[in-house]
Structure 1
Amino acid sequence: MGYFYILGTILFTVYGQLMLKWRIDKFGSLPKETFDKVLFLLRLLLDPLILSGFLSAFVASLFWMAAMTKFNISFAYPFMSLSFVLVFLFSVFMFGEPMTSQKVIGLLLIVFGIIVTSQSL
């Protein structure tokens, strides 16, 4: 059951990040003027899908608390790096962000690091 909690943490974290990026892109760039910035940010905060991203972060935190009851943090935390991998992969397909060889090598290093740190000695 502990791995389910880690998976929930990762999935809700990834959803939240992707939702925020998707919706913020729909609103455009942050204005230059301070008052306009405040209005822009308030409009973002009132967007239901952005609010779902914040709610997702909260739910991810609940899953993380549950995971902490099952694992040492030194074991569980490296799995959180999978969120980097998933956000990257989804960003390529959803937002057309570039996939470079450096990014792929970096992600492979992350996955290798997760494998190494999750091994019992």
Structure 2
Amino acid sequence: MNPISLICILTGVMLNAGAQLLLKAGVSAVGHFDFTRANIVPIGFKLAMQVPIIGGLACYVVSVGVWIIGLSRVDVSIAYPMLSLGYVVNAFAAWYLFGEALTMQRLIGIAIILVGVLVLARS
């Protein structure tokens, strides 16, 4: 994989991870809600007006464009597993930004993901 291809793939991964974090920030601002027939419209409107959610959706749109460019340069069997790097990014970012737990079991899982991506990238 050449440097441009790697940049496209990693940019897509980072945009996807950023989208998840922004969606979490937006839904956290709204708080816990029960999704019932009675509150579909008010909750939907409240969620739709959250700037982080709008930003997260925008990240998804841009990530699809970047991902398409990356897929034009890299085999999908190499590119798609790279998305698992988003799990790693999100785990550490969620710990830092939202105070989510990073247990030993999660850290071991992250290590396994990183080893898998490394093996795949070198193949």
- Match runs of 1:1-121 below 5 Å: 1-31=4-34, 33-120=36-123
Report SS of the residue matched to 2:32. coil
Q: What is the alpha-carbon distance in structure 1 between the residues aligned to residue 5 and residue 50 of structure 2? A: 33
Q: What is the alpha-carbon distance in structure 1 between the residues aligned to residue 8 and residue 84 of structure 2? A: 15
Deviates more, 1:30-39 or 1:66-75: 30-39
8 Å CA contact 1:31–1:37 kept in 2: the answer is no
8 Å CA contact 1:31–1:40 kept in 2: the answer is no
- Report percent identity of matched pairs: 26
Q: What is the alpha-carbon distance in structure 1 between the residues aligned to residue 50 and residue 28 of structure 2? A: 13
Shift of 1:32: 5.3
Q: What is the alpha-carbon distance in structure 2 between the residues aligned to residue 34 and residue 11 of structure 1? A: 35
8 Å CA contact 2:13–2:63 kept in 1: the answer is yes
Shift of 1:84: 0.4
- CA distance 1:32–1:6, change in 2 (3 Å): closer
- CA distance 1:78–1:33, change in 2 (3 Å): closer
Which 4+ runs in 1 deviate beyond 6 A?
none
5+ long unaligned stretches in structure 2: none
Report SS of the residue matched to 1:17. helix
8 Å CA contact 1:75–1:118 kept in 2: the answer is yes
TM-score normalized with structure 1 length: 0.93
Shift of 1:39: 1.1
8 Å CA contact 1:30–1:37 kept in 2: the answer is no
